Amino acid sequence: MKEGIEAKLVGSNPARQSIYARLSSGTNEKALVLLNHIDVVPVAANEWTEPPFSGLRSGGYIWGRGALDMKSIGIAELMAVIDLKRRRTPLRRDIIFLGVADEELGGLHGCKELLETHPELFANVGYVLNEGGYNETWAERAAFWGIEVQQKVPLFLRIQVKGFSGHSASPPNDGGTLSKLIDTLEAVEKIPTPYRVTPAVARYFAILGAFKNDYKGEALRALSKKLDLNRVKVLPDGYRSLLQRLPLAVARYDRHHADSRRRLHELLAADRDGGRRHSPSRR
Ligand SMILES: [Zn+2]
């Protein structure tokens, strides 16, 4: 690279390459990854008032698919790395810049592939900074740059039911597979996904709450001290989700399959044992 930072493209698919660079510190401290994704979701160009890949600057905005998600952060991370290099800042730990392909497609040729096929790239990594968190604007001015301090653990469930599908004009007596599927979804929907306030989120809410004079600020400040379901309810989804350990995402659950049943129960048991909690939380 022009700045004298050694960088390389990695990935098996020439059309879906990721970019990796590591600033070496010479210490054994756990490395920090500045992670971003360089792909974007598709565009329907006719829905755009400006060309979606133009990067046009107009009216105080940059117009482009991915400007928010997440080229802005990618560029900020890149500039941070360049700045460290230009200033010859002595580093306490290695800093890794990683712009990955395919985040919008489940990381297939991005994070997933790199972790599986290039574990050496992540040697001695201890920390990752990535996208997430709400920014808030008041009258078009940034009032608050959000830093999300807690991540959720999604539980993906794929549901399979077996039986006769039948015809809609003459369905089987028991309702057939569709009815079994609905029963299962109902059971999944009833699984409690409890709330808890971790110390990191409590601190985040306290600081954020101090910025707000409205009911949200009041809820955030109160929740930073004590879990209260009535206050949880008034929070926007983005903040509320930080209180959840286990958002259920249904992708695979076979109630006749011991493995899925065991995995589900393990996760729920782990959740019951861990930290402060309250249930049920499903809205
Ligand atoms: Zn993103």
Categorize the per-residue pLDDT at 126 as very low, low, confident or very high, splitting at 50, 70 and 90: very high
Average pLDDT for 145-163: 74
pLDDT value at residue 169: 85
Q: Which of 39, 102, 113, 271 is catalytic?
A: 39
Q: Which of 94, 102, 103, 113 is catalytic?
A: 103
Q: Is 189 a catalytic residue?
A: no
pLDDT value at residue 270: 60
pLDDT value at residue 257: 55
pLDDT value at residue 108: 84
Q: How many CB atoms lie within 10 A of CB 136?
A: 14
- Residue 84 CA to its chain's centroid (Å): 27
Biggest CA-to-CA distance, the chain = 76
Alpha-carbon gap, residue 56 to 53, rounded angstroms: 8
Listed by start position, the domains of the chain span 7-131, 199-241
pLDDT value at residue 151: 66
CATH no. of 7-131: 3.40.630.10
Query: Tokens representing 194?
Result: 């409890």
Ligand 1 centroid distance, CA of 35 (Å): 11
Q: Is 3 a catalytic residue?
A: no
Prior bond of 79 cis (ω within 30°): no
Ligand 1 centroid distance, CA of 178 (Å): 35
pLDDT value at residue 278: 38
- Is the pLDDT at 255 greater than 70, yes or no? no
Q: What are phi and psi of 267, to 5 degrees?
A: -65, -40
Ligand 1 centroid distance, CA of 110 (Å): 13
- Is the pLDDT at 40 greater than 90, yes or no? yes
51-84 pLDDT tens trace? 999 999 998 889 999 998 999 899 999 999 999 9
Average pLDDT for 141-160: 73
| Whether the Cβ atoms of residue 75 and residue 81 lie closer than 8 Å to each other | no
Average pLDDT for 182-192: 79
Ligand 1 centroid distance, CA of 203 (Å): 25
Residue pointed to by tokens 């009815």: 179
Average pLDDT for 263-280: 52
pTM of the model: 0.69
Alpha-carbon gap, residue 197 to 224, rounded angstroms: 7
Ligand 1 centroid distance, CA of 44 (Å): 18
Higher pLDDT, 94 or 243: 94
Tell me which DSSP letter residue 74 carries: H
pLDDT value at residue 97: 98
Q: What are phi and psi of 105, to 5 degrees?
A: -120, 30
3-state SS, residue 267: helix
Q: How many CB atoms lie within 10 A of CB 19?
A: 19
